[in-house]
């Protein structure tokens, strides 16, 4: 079902529950929540499940996730009776990447880090979205400088102009944590160890006093460019060259 672009701004005045209720009514079953199982994702899953227990949820298993994340995935399956749809990286691409650049290429150069994210996250995301008309994320505007203008509902031009829904875009961190506590929502055990944003194990650390919440993600890079390509793209010339090589190598 299509929606006029001019109508999208109206959702910024609606609550997360209202946005999700509209999205589920309009796009289910060709809608799914994308979950990395951060606290924001858990809020979205809990809200959506209360509206429609049949809501679809997918995740990207990069092959480098912390054990605590895998445990939470199983906890979510059990608590919500949701069959999590898991997408994996292409084996031939992953093998080619590691063969040329090593296991920890992401520390060497930002272009190589983005290439790793491309193989382990972006390409699997494209597969997950290929059969959908809309997807839902837990993005919030105050998470990072790259997310300050995130709308609650928008057109995702990077993925075939499907609808992208960010129902808690205007929520604060405190509101997210209060919801988790008040509603007894399960969350990743790493949050109790000083982590505030959790991705792949080698690219995530606890934050230090005074650091912003996403400082523990790719901490060796500049904050203005710290995205993996799922929600923001900033390809460099080297990245484009390496990506072209990879596609040719695994054609």
Positions marked active-site: 228
43: alpha, beta or left, given left = phi > 0 and alpha = psi -120 to 50?
Answer: alpha
Nearest Cα to Cα of residue 45 among 30, 24, 66, 64: 24
162, containing H or E segment: strand 162-165
- 3-class DSSP state for residue 164? strand
Nearest Cα to Cα of residue 168 among 5, 3, 14, 4: 14
* C-alpha span between 7 and 27 (Å, rounded): 16
- Regarding beta strands 85-87 and 56-60, do their DSSP bridges make them parallel or antiparallel, or are they unpaired? parallel
* C-alpha span between 51 and 23 (Å, rounded): 11
Sign of CA dihedral 169, 170, 174, 177: negative
Residues 185, 42 contacting (CB under 8 angstroms): yes
The tokens describing 15, both together, are 């609550």
The tokens describing 47, both together, are 């809200």
Burial of 131 (0-12, 13-18, 19+ CB in 10 A): exposed
């Amino acid at each position: 079902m299509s929606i006029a672009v001019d109508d999208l701004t109206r959702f910024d005045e609606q609550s997360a529950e209202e946005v999700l209720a509209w999205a589920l009514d309009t796009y289910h079953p060709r809608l799914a929540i994308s979950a990395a199982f951060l606290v924001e994702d858990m809020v979205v899953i809990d809200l959506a499940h209360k509206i429609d227990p049949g809501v679809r949820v997918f995740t990207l298993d990069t092959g480098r996730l912390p054990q605590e994340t895998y445990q939470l995935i199983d906890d979510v399956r059990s608590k919500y009776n949701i069959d999590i749809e898991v997408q994996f990286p292409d084996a031939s691409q992953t093998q080619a990447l590691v063969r040329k650049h090593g296991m920890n290429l992401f520390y060497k150069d930002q272009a190589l880090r983005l290439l790793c994210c491309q193989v382990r996250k972006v390409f699997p995301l494209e597969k997950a979205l290929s059969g959908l008309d809309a997807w839902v994320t837990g993005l919030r505007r105050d998470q990072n400088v790259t997310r300050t203008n995130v709308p609650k509902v928008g057109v995702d031009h990077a993925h075939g102009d499907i609808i992208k829904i960010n129902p808690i875009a205007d929520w604060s961190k405190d509101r997210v944590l209060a919801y988790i506590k008040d509603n007894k929502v399960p969350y990743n055990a790493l949050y109790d160890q000083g982590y505030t944003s959790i991705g792949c194990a080698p690219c995530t650390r606890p934050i230090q006093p005074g650091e912003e919440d996403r400082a523990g993600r790719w901490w060796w890079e500049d904050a203005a460019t710290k995205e993996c390509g799922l929600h923001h793209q900033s390809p460099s010339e080297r990245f484009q060259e390496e990506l072209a090589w990879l596609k040719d190598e695994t054609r």
